[in-house]
A and B are shown apart, each in its own frame.
Chain A
Amino acid sequence: MDRTRLRRSMLYVPGNNAGMIRDAAIYHSDSIMFDLEDSVAYRQKDAARMLVFQNLRTLDFEGIETVVRINGLDTPYGREDIRAMVKARPDIIRLPKTDCAQDVQEVEKLIEIEERKNGMPVGTIGMMAAIESPLGVINAYSIATSSDRLIGIAIGAEDYVTAMKTARSASGVEILYARSAIVTAARAAGICAFDTVYSDLNNEEGFEAEVRLIKQLGFDGKSIISPRQIKLVHDVFAPNGKEIAFAERVIEAIEEAKAKGSGVIAVNGKMIDKPIVERAISTLERADAAGLRDYSSPAEGVLHA
């Protein structure tokens, strides 16, 4: 389980669609989330579980993080989902509709039982929790700190706005509090924060505005419903040339200071402290993921290199 990996884009794939599952890896989202929950009709729950199980055990996802969204324990499918999925070994099991820490802990117990049963080290499977209710938002921090397995929490906006007696709007003002609460709780707990889906596939401008907003709020990434949304998310999250250059100078300065045995690090005459170093590392990670480092883009001189 890797808490620090890059998670800009988490691609939803309906668990009952064999073709989409087969092709999910080719788009290189940071994570793929196979859904057994809301995108699967009741009469297809068993088939979807079996399909995701077989595919997780068979296909090569080429290092992309695999996530399965299971059904809640309040449904007839949740327990069976956990039994099958622990055996299939995705990287992460994602809980829907998490209202409190106990919701996470109950699932964690069941995961642990299955891990032991299957001879896997306890803690192999990571978890993430989706917060989709006002109660969940109020409990965000206690949810975020409820288990060592949690790699992140996510906001699910649709149920939340309904419970709030409002509806989604273009500006997203109705979920601003929830977003802020969740990203703050995640940061306080030292885990990732994921934003909700944007479902109007043909509104690229609206989508870009939303991705810029959630990046600015501090989210690590966003759940997405189509491969067509990946590039834009990655583009928005990609650092610009100035940020990359600064981050590279910070890292160089650290190396130099280490070589000299000096404890004080400065770039451009400014003191570099821990948060700046962390930010530099994350910047370079995102730059590498966007392929922006050892060549800028075909636009800038690769051809004649």
Chain B
Amino acid sequence: MPDNPVNHEIPDEILSAFDRKLFSGAYSNTPHIRIDKGNRSLPRLNKIVDTIEQVVIKTGLSDGMTISFHHHFRGGDKVINMVMDVISHMGIKNLTLAASSLTTVHSPLVGHIKSGTISRICTSGIRGELADEISAGLMDHPILIHSHGGRARAIETGKIKIDVAFLGVPTCDVYGNANGYTGASACGSLGYAKVDAHFARKVVLITDTIAEYPNTPFSIHQDQVDYIVVVDQVGDPKGISSGATRLTKNPRDILIGSLAAKVIACSGYFEDGFSLQTGSGGASLVTTKFLREYMEQQNIRANWALGGITAQMVKLHEDGLIKRLLDVQSFDQEAIRSIGENRYHSEIDASYYANPLNKGCAVNKINVVVLSALEIDTEFNVNVLTGSDGVLRGASGGHSDTAIGSGLSIVVAPLIRGRSATVVDQIKTVITPGSTIDVLVTDRGIAVNPRRPQVAEQLRRCKLPVIPISELKEKAQKLAGVPEPIIFEKKIVAVVEYRDGTILDVVRQVQA
């Protein structure tokens, strides 16, 4: 179709006064526009590219750039390995891999690090063979561990500049409207991916299901998306989520969870309209269950719950005990179903969730959070990253974000795990500063941070077994003994960034 510039006279001084160029045709300055409208049988306007290799070429990805991925497919993720295999095959080197988190399924990355395809990594968590290898000194540059809020902050402020985001989505339409709760690989919220889609220079969606246009309601918008590649499968549903997160039958987790629920009920924060976040760990889920009993007994409803949403939270929401859910990550099938069905189960992105430097994130408004710990020291500093052997095996996640933002942060952990004490003199890695942790609930007693004397007083009045954390440490030491110290090399394998972007700790290579 020929383009028709308008032949009206427009003085040059107008153009310069308004700092504009002269109209040169309706089709000349806008990409993504259908130019030939003459034939209905023409392929529809779309952004679909045939292969990952073609899309990599189109994005202009080259040596030294930064690529990003999200972890909403958790242990079922197929996207990272699929894309990295292609990139590696194309011979692109020295990339920075900026994933929101990495799991045990990502061990093939070891090969891509060895081949020089990946030279730097930033992530919230790391596990399995990849973590073992990195702990053993695989990489020349230490990896950077950030919190979920810290990652959003880094991306928004340009500390992490994503050149190309490869975002796996359960469904999208041909123009790039994507959501997470439909399709065979449904994962629920796309909260972490939304930040990448917003800020990356080029955005590529990878999907196994093309939905009708417009794929509403959508989490990632057509105006953010450059290209789409359709593949056989983006995720394995079995690894993406369990059916419904099951309540544990482990008596110790039940004990800890029931104590944590009582701590909440007695803390002074438990009143009509309160808000909470609990995790997906065994004791955390039990906490939610017991808290329900207190809520029903005392006719207390929560206004909202935050975070990784589980079947327990959905049940409370659907039974009218929690009015609203803010969901950055959906942990199970029930949560995935609910985010599609329930009007007040809302998807939020990682910045809304926890970015410390935006104009207000949700963690700042939460009343009570229940968190886990691998280790905690007598100053209440928490390690959720490295195991008792000093090897990387965890995730920073929203731990430090929610701890500081909440009114009451409760850590739940068994005092002895396997043969190791959880409460120790010195933890291996600090992820969350003790000054942001209020209460520690263990199976052998509860400790309250001395900076919260009123909370301690409240709990004592409810006959909860509150003891100094130093006594918990001694109890643990008496049972488990003091382990031989782990010998670390000089080499630093990971750097822990606090949510505000400062460096909080480093992880060193473990001596073989």
Tell yes or no: B86 within 8 A of A by CB. no
Residues of chain A in range 283-305 having any CB-CB distance to chain B below 8 Å: 291, 294-295, 297-299, 302-303, 305
Partner of B265, one of A22, A226, A294, A298: A298
Tell yes or no: B306 within 8 A of A by CB. no
Please determine whether B255 and A27 come into contact, CB atoms closer than 8 angstroms. yes
Tell yes or no: B254 within 8 A of A by CB. yes
Chain B count of residues within 8 A CB distance of the other chain: 24
Tell yes or no: A26 within 8 A of B by CB. yes
Q: Which of chain B's residues has its CB closest to A25's CB?
A: B444
Complex Cα gap A297–B262 (Å):
10
Partner of A295, one of B251, B252, B463: B463
Tell yes or no: A116 within 8 A of B by CB. no
Tell yes or no: B462 within 8 A of A by CB. yes
Tell yes or no: A228 within 8 A of B by CB. yes
Please determine whether B444 and A26 come into contact, CB atoms closer than 8 angstroms. yes
Chain A residue numbers with a CB within 8 Å of B218 are none
B228-259 interface mask toward A, CB cutoff 8 Å, 1 = contact, 0 = none? 00000000000000000000010110110010
Chain B residue numbers with a CB within 8 Å of A291 are 463
In angstroms, how far is the closest chain A Cβ from the Cβ of B236?
30
Q: Tell me whether A299 and B252 are in contact in the complex, defined as CB-CB below 8 angstroms, given that A22-B416, A305-B461 are known contacts.
A: no
Please determine whether A295 and B461 come into contact, CB atoms closer than 8 angstroms. yes
In angstroms, how far is the closest chain B Cβ from the Cβ of A294?
8
Q: Tell me whether A295 and B297 are in contact in the complex, defined as CB-CB below 8 angstroms, given that A22-B416, A26-B255, A303-B270 are known contacts.
A: no
Chain B residue numbers with a CB within 8 Å of A302 are 266, 461-462
Tell yes or no: B294 within 8 A of A by CB. yes
Partner of B251, one of A22, A227, A297, A299: A227
Please determine whether B266 and A226 come into contact, CB atoms closer than 8 angstroms. no
Complex Cα gap A303–B464 (Å):
13
Complex Cα gap A26–B415 (Å):
10
Tell yes or no: A255 within 8 A of B by CB. no
Tell yes or no: A23 within 8 A of B by CB. yes
Q: Tell me whether A228 and B251 are in contact in the complex, defined as CB-CB below 8 angstroms, given that A23-B443, A303-B270, A305-B461 are known contacts.
A: yes
Tell yes or no: B268 within 8 A of A by CB. yes
Interface of A is mostly: loop
Tell yes or no: B35 within 8 A of A by CB. no
Residues of chain A in range 216-269 having any CB-CB distance to chain B below 8 Å: 226-228, 231
Q: How many A-B residue pairs have CB under 8 A?
A: 49
Q: Tell me whether A303 and B265 are in contact in the complex, defined as CB-CB below 8 angstroms, given that A22-B479, A291-B463 are known contacts.
A: yes
Please determine whether B251 and A298 come into contact, CB atoms closer than 8 angstroms. no
Chain B residue numbers with a CB within 8 Å of A59 are 479
Please determine whether A226 and B251 come into contact, CB atoms closer than 8 angstroms. yes
Partner of A303, one of B249, B258, B271: B271
Q: Tell me whether A227 and B463 are in contact in the complex, defined as CB-CB below 8 angstroms, given that A298-B265, A298-B266, A298-B294 are known contacts.
A: no
Complex Cα gap A294–B460 (Å):
12
Chain B residue numbers with a CB within 8 Å of A60 are 478
Complex Cα gap A26–B266 (Å):
21
In angstroms, how far is the closest chain A Cβ from the Cβ of B509?
32
In angstroms, how far is the closest chain A Cβ from the Cβ of B265?
4
Q: Which of chain B's residues has its CB closest to A226's CB?
A: B251
Complex Cα gap A227–B254 (Å):
9
Chain B residue numbers with a CB within 8 Å of A23 are 252, 416, 443
Complex Cα gap A59–B266 (Å):
31
Q: Tell me whether A228 and B463 are in contact in the complex, defined as CB-CB below 8 angstroms, given that A303-B266, A303-B268 are known contacts.
A: no
Tell yes or no: B298 within 8 A of A by CB. yes
Interface-centre pick from A23, A27, A297, A298 (highest chain B CB count, 10 A): A298
Please determine whether B462 and A299 come into contact, CB atoms closer than 8 angstroms. no
Q: Tell me whether A299 and B298 are in contact in the complex, defined as CB-CB below 8 angstroms, given that A22-B479, A291-B463, A305-B461 are known contacts.
A: yes
In angstroms, how far is the closest chain A Cβ from the Cβ of B247?
11
Q: Which of chain B's residues has its CB closest to A228's CB?
A: B251
Chain B residue numbers with a CB within 8 Å of A303 are 265-266, 268, 270-271, 458
Complex Cα gap A77–B56 (Å):
73
Chain A residue numbers with a CB within 8 Å of B478 are 60
Chain A residue numbers with a CB within 8 Å of B444 are 26
Please determine whether B254 and A298 come into contact, CB atoms closer than 8 angstroms. no
Q: Tell me whether A298 and B462 are in contact in the complex, defined as CB-CB below 8 angstroms, given that A303-B268, A303-B271 are known contacts.
A: yes
In angstroms, how far is the closest chain A Cβ from the Cβ of B463?
5
Q: Which of chain A's residues has its CB closest to B258's CB?
A: A231
Q: Which of chain B's residues has its CB closest to A23's CB?
A: B252
Residues of chain B in range 288-338 having any CB-CB distance to chain A below 8 Å: 294, 297-298
Complex Cα gap A231–B255 (Å):
10
Q: What are the 3 closest A-B residue pairs judged by CB atoms, nearest first?
A: A227-B251, A299-B297, A298-B265
Known: A59-B479, A298-B266, A303-B270. 4 other contacts (CB 8 A): A228-B254, A298-B262, A299-B297, A302-B266
Chain B residues proximal to chain A, CB less than 8 Å:
249, 251-252, 254-255, 258, 262, 265-266, 268, 270-271, 294, 297-298, 416, 443-444, 458, 461-463, 478-479
Sample of 29 A–B contacts (CB below 8 Å): A22-B479, A23-B252, A23-B416, A26-B252, A26-B255, A26-B443, A26-B444, A227-B251, A227-B252, A227-B255, A228-B249, A231-B258, A291-B463, A294-B463, A295-B461, A295-B463, A298-B266, A298-B270, A298-B294, A298-B298, A298-B462, A299-B294, A299-B298, A302-B461, A303-B265, A303-B266, A303-B268, A303-B270, A303-B271
